[in-house]
Structure 1
Amino acid sequence: MSEESSEQPAPQHSSDEELIREALKAEVRLLPLKPGVYRFFDHEGHIIYVGKAKALRNRVGSYFTQQAGHSAKTQVMVKLIRRLETTVTATENDALLLEANLIKQHQPRYNVLLKDNKSYPYLHLTTQHDFPRLALYRGDRKEAGRFFGPYPSVHAVRNTLKWLQKIFPVRQCEDTQYNHRTRPCLQYQIHRCGGPCCDRISQEKYGAIVAEVVLFLEGKDKQLVKALQQQMWQLAEARDFEGAGRIRDRIAQIKLIQEKRRLNLTGHVDLDAMSIAVEGGQTVVQLFFVRGGINLGNRAYYPDSRGEEDVSAILQAFINQFYLERPPPTEVLIDRELPEQELLQSALSERLGKRVRLHRPERGEKRSLVAMAAENALQSVRQQQAGQVQNRVLLEALQAEFNMPEQPSRIEIYDNSHIQDSEAVGAMVVFGPEGFIKNQYRKFNLEASGAADDTARMEVVLTRRFKRLKEGDEANWPDLVLLDGGIAQLNTALRVAEELQLSRGDVLFCAIAKGPERNAGREQLFLPDMTEPTILPHNSPLLMFLQRVRDEAHRFVIGYHRQKRGKRQTQSALDAIPGIGPKRKKALLHTFGSVRGVSQASLEEIAKVSGFSMELAQQVLEHLGVEQGSG
């Protein structure tokens, strides 16, 4: 916003700052010489920094007594400190863990932040089942069975499943579907499944295939190939040349795949290899996942360094936060020494429950792997820079085209979605100089709003959003708001701005409408105080940029709408029965396959399901009977 809020506290005068500094120093002198975590607060009561210490008094005191040796970022931070809090811990390892948790919870402005907090996908083998299922799994890994991974992305897991099915015909269907099949599915017909659901394969033979899958995923492919070769010769000696030929082909496929994935490492090692690159203010950490000597893939991370200049300190903070909720492997390779490497290694070992080796390899295969990570990190940071340069050029063009006083630093794009007014939703995506800011996307549920059409729904969305901004989220105030729609959406936005007493200088609204016959490339731009819409040349880079951000909002809102619609479509008559929650509903469908299967079951069969009594079983049948009779 162009003006400072009148409610902001007045800045501290120098005499006040001196008094605060002396009070903080006095408080520091009372701190214990024990390990723990400290938190610095600004004048608004916000946590601006979280740190850990081996001796709290010495570490916290250094901020106020050794300022000449601090970086520029730290000197600015110290001037903002108005209050501090500490937590004493039993060990320095406990302090390191608590520090990572507090940083994740509060996102302090002067801490290095890991912006990616997604759980990693695994391959899950349901070993408790007579005919185990192999499938993608994402979550806390509390379910029974074997887990293989982690993989860097869902795409990597799906690719792995795709070629695994070609070699090992293990089922991937849900247990509910498996329990109620009466004939084999297409996967059986194309030799991607052994058909255990219809007794087309014995449990013993299926178990042997599962054992082969486990060997393969554990990286013991040489042991697997040797066993398959023995089977092949046995079949050949028995003159079953067709069976021997099938095994020969499987061996060839296994060798081909593993040649592409196996690294030149000694043994079946589990390790992560990472390297950090910092260039032009951008920070990238490239991480390679290796399990059982097999390269599962790599991924780039973009931690927010918050002005931190020590690259080793950034990498150390990244590692501490990255393995906060992910089990580390037994070996982590890094490209440089860390300030507190032994402490971090001890903390990782404690989290895993066995020794973790954190080190920088000096020679050999592992050094080559780190060098490969370094090369990828440098490439990633340069791609990021190139993208930001392109973004700046486009934002400058946008500023000139829309006659804005400054280059926009935050653009919010809004769109709505529904089918015949059902499951109406809205969404907002955000774009800045660094690209799309996905952790600031927002969804709006409009089912209870009573809005009758798209313009009314847009009014609801914008009213909710700007009320929240005015109530305290002004740090995320947009410079430009783009609306998917035409002049009606623009007028709606201007009406909301007037009702909320927003000035024209606070935010610029623009509506983007598709051209005649919804022709992409002839979009019309509607701006306030303009009698005619602006139409950019069809090959204009600015038009392509506006189409891209508009399409991203469309993609996001469509995804949310499909999610809600899918949830409604999966609801059943069981949801309306008192006493039947998600767990009991899941148990019924798992046992009987469908609502129809439940309705055809006897009272005694339902009562045998876990969590059901005869009384509840009777209630289920009565309710389903009423529904069927009323239809």
Structure 2
Amino acid sequence: MADPQSYRPRTSDIPTTPGVYRFRDPQGRVIYVGKAKNLRSRLSSYFVKPAQLNPKTHAMVHTAASVEWTVVSNELEALQLEYTWIKEFTPRFNIVFRDDKSYPYLAVTMGEKYPRAQVMRGDRRKDVKYFGPFYPAKAIRETLDTLLRVFPVRTCSPGVFRRAQQSGRPCLLGYIDKCSAPCVGRISEADHRQLADELCRFMGGEGTAFIRDLERQMGAAAADMDYERAARLRDDVQALRRVFERNAVVLGEDTEADIFAVAEDELEAAVQVFHVRNGRIRGQRGWVVEKVEDFGPAQFITHLLQQVYGNDDGGDRLPREVLVPVEPDEREHLAAWLKTLRGSAVNLRVPQRGEKAALMETVRENAEQALRLHKSRRAGDITTRSAALQELQEALGVPVPLMRIECYDISHVSGTNVVASMVVVEDGLPKKSDYRKFSISGQAARDDTSAMYDVLTRRFKRYLDEREATGTLISGQVEAETAAGARKFAYPPSLVVVDGGPPQVAAASQALTDLGIDDVYVVGLAKRLEEVWLPEDEFPVILPRASESLYLLQRLRDEAHRFAITFHRKKRSSSMLESVLDDVPGLGPAKRTALLKEFGSLKKLRAASREELLTVSGIGPALADHLYTALQAPDQS
């Protein structure tokens, strides 16, 4: 562990203006990002006597090897830059609120010729109207299924829509009247768009008025003795009422608010938020995070709102009102930032009394229950993971903790299309953002050991190059532009695991030796008897069959194998497709790329009709004929 005094900057060199600072470890990784109104005062607080620091801060400053800062003009800029860097670098000592998945929205693609209603996750897209979020996903799927009775808009994918157009037959939803079937001309483009507009208005808050209008139409139809139409309208009204019943009214119908609450102990904090739209609870989200920062409640709420709304990109997902349990740190600057995201003012406040305060109490109870449940589930997981890593370290005789493990696997078919995969676990958990794929060619592809040597050489040569480019870390001020940088590829692991026995281990070990790396340990896991081989050892290490350490290695090896096989199949399919396309006259690189993007595989391309080929950008009638003939030729099948 580093001595903080070894990289402490001189106090006189630190400005007293607002700014954002970053601590880096010896490999140059950003491990903590913070902001301050007064940089000198804040940074000096990290270099006091170790006994005066809390355990988390003590661990952070002794892990770091340097500190740097960027001066900004005001506290709002500091808030924005701090969030940007936390999102970019995901520092291990910052609190990061991660969902296990994105939350579902009901989306209507108004930018398409025939708008499509669907359940959508992830980032917002242009010309798409969103309603939600909803949780669980089953709730919005049931809601959409009910709404299709009254608003039978298209829900099918572009591929299904094209096939229905070509065949002249609608899909199942068209036959059961849950789709107006614009694909076969049952409804005009204008009428279908009107249906989509009505669906958007209903979900946007005009539901009560829409139901009253249907009831008036039902009464008029009954008065005219058109009982069949009146019965259909009655069923539509009941269907729409069922949609409302799923979300009971808890506040006034004009209320749009997100209500946050927090439950915490010394080590962890659970956060819950209820999304209230049109007075109804439309969704619920939750996080449980480790308290790696020495934050008070006000700072915690600031970081929470930064990450929740920064990740959602604000916009129409950010409501008019945000209710929090305590007033956040730098409330005015935070409210100004939220205003820039939403495009209009956001009322950020603490409810004191009334229905909103009562609802926040319910959210707080949910947070407390979530924290209790997390602790009961997590206790076993943390213990098991820690025991597996400790057991593996002792069995292999590795003198350093196995904080990061990388596993490599080679995949090919009879020596062709040779590829390799690298998968990573940190603290016993997969880190998929650091997974890598390698294509191998030339002499390196002649056998598994050569391929393994090539992959390890390429990976760790990159590590050495980046370490040399980084140079000696020096504490001091940096500009915001130079401080930003891409996520590093070459973080060194504590342990390298290869899929194979002594030959593969020897190749991997030789690659590291030739590069002059002596602080990364190598083992191999042989499939036949699940033996663990060490370099230059005559006999393998036999881990107990039921041990958690062997189970960890098996999971890592299987994940590397899965990742390699997936890449190999994709590469093989693309290479076969490209070989067929090479023989088609008039087919240039741009049109070949368009075909690959549209169909993706040789099987799908051969199954395509001339009409489907013509839908691809740049493919005309003559080229479609040449392409179709080449694909259907007997010697190409």
Matched, 1:144 2:130: no
Shift of residue 440 of structure 1?
3.0
8 A Cα contact 1:219 1:294, kept in partner: no
Comparing 265-274 with 149-158, greater Cα deviation is found at: 149-158
Name the Cα RMSD after superposition.
4.9
Aligned equivalents of 2:544, 2:530: Cα separation in 1:
8
Q: Which amino acid aligns with 2:496?
A: V
Select the residue among 497, 501, 507 that pairs with 2:521.
507
* SS, match of residue 144 in structure 1: coil
The change in CA–CA distance for 1:551 and 1:12 in structure 2 (over 3 A counts) is closer
Shift of residue 97 of structure 1?
1.8
- Superposed CA deviations along residues 553-590 of structure 1, whole A, max 9, x for unmatched, are 44544555566678779987799436659799999xxx
- Superposed CA deviations along residues 592-622 of structure 1, whole A, max 9, x for unmatched, are x978238779xxxx9xx9xxxxxx89xx566
8 A Cα contact 2:259 2:275, kept in partner: yes
Match of 2:492 in 1: 477
The change in CA–CA distance for 1:402 and 1:42 in structure 2 (over 3 A counts) is closer
The change in CA–CA distance for 1:526 and 1:49 in structure 2 (over 3 A counts) is closer
Match of 1:199 in 2: 185
Aligned residues: 582
Matched, 1:345 2:339: no
TM-score normalised by L of structure 2: 0.72
Match of 2:434 in 1: 440
Select the residue among 39, 43, 46 that pairs with 2:21.
39
Aligned equivalents of 1:543, 1:599: Cα separation in 2:
51
After TM superposition, the structure 1 = structure 2 runs for residues 56-135 of structure 1, keeping only pairs within 5 Å, are: 58-61=38-41, 63-64=43-44, 71-72=53-54, 85-89=69-73, 91-106=74-89, 111-114=94-97, 122-129=105-112, 131-135=114-118
* SS, match of residue 348 in structure 1: helix
8 A Cα contact 2:405 2:494, kept in partner: yes
Q: Which amino acid aligns with 1:266?
A: G
8 A Cα contact 2:260 2:360, kept in partner: no
Shift of residue 267 of structure 1?
1.8
Match of 1:408 in 2: 402
Aligned equivalents of 1:565, 1:161: Cα separation in 2:
40
8 A Cα contact 2:460 2:490, kept in partner: no
8 A Cα contact 1:275 1:374, kept in partner: no
* SS, match of residue 218 in structure 1: helix
Aligned equivalents of 1:448, 1:575: Cα separation in 2:
31
TM-score normalised by L of structure 1: 0.73
8 A Cα contact 2:104 2:135, kept in partner: yes
Select the residue among 361, 366, 372 that pairs with 1:372.
366
Matched, 1:298 2:284: yes
Aligned equivalents of 2:586, 2:249: Cα separation in 1:
51
Shift of residue 197 of structure 1?
0.8
Matched, 1:429 2:423: yes
Select the residue among 304, 311, 316 that pairs with 2:302.
316
Match of 2:533 in 1: 527
Match of 1:359 in 2: 349
8 A Cα contact 2:418 2:445, kept in partner: no
8 A Cα contact 1:40 1:47, kept in partner: yes
Aligned equivalents of 2:46, 2:589: Cα separation in 1:
66
Shift of residue 93 of structure 1?
2.6
Aligned equivalents of 1:11, 1:409: Cα separation in 2:
21
Aligned equivalents of 2:370, 2:330: Cα separation in 1:
26
The change in CA–CA distance for 1:544 and 1:47 in structure 2 (over 3 A counts) is closer
Aligned equivalents of 2:435, 2:25: Cα separation in 1:
29
Shift of residue 103 of structure 1?
3.6
Aligned equivalents of 2:101, 2:494: Cα separation in 1:
29
Aligned equivalents of 1:358, 1:476: Cα separation in 2:
41
8 A Cα contact 1:121 1:149, kept in partner: yes
Select the residue among 150, 154, 161 that pairs with 1:178.
161
Comparing 148-157 with 385-394, greater Cα deviation is found at: 148-157
8 A Cα contact 1:63 1:78, kept in partner: no
Match of 2:610 in 1: 596
Select the residue among 184, 203, 216 that pairs with 1:217.
203
* SS, match of residue 342 in structure 1: helix
* SS, match of residue 310 in structure 2: coil
Aligned equivalents of 2:489, 2:35: Cα separation in 1:
31
**Identity between Structure 1 and Structure 2 (%):** 30
Aligned equivalents of 1:158, 1:446: Cα separation in 2:
45
Select the residue among 319, 327, 334 that pairs with 2:324.
334
After TM superposition, the structure 1 = structure 2 runs for residues 549-588 of structure 1, keeping only pairs within 5 Å, are: 549-558=556-565, 560=567, 576-577=587-588
Matched, 1:461 2:455: yes
Select the residue among 210, 222, 226 that pairs with 2:212.
226
Aligned equivalents of 2:77, 2:136: Cα separation in 1:
31
Q: Which amino acid aligns with 2:611?
A: G
Q: Which amino acid aligns with 1:37?
A: G
* SS, match of residue 323 in structure 1: helix
Aligned equivalents of 1:37, 1:533: Cα separation in 2:
52
The change in CA–CA distance for 1:211 and 1:234 in structure 2 (over 3 A counts) is farther
Select the residue among 501, 508, 511 that pairs with 1:493.
508
Shift of residue 198 of structure 1?
0.4
Q: Which amino acid aligns with 2:170?
A: P
* SS, match of residue 245 in structure 2: helix
Q: Which amino acid aligns with 2:329?
A: P
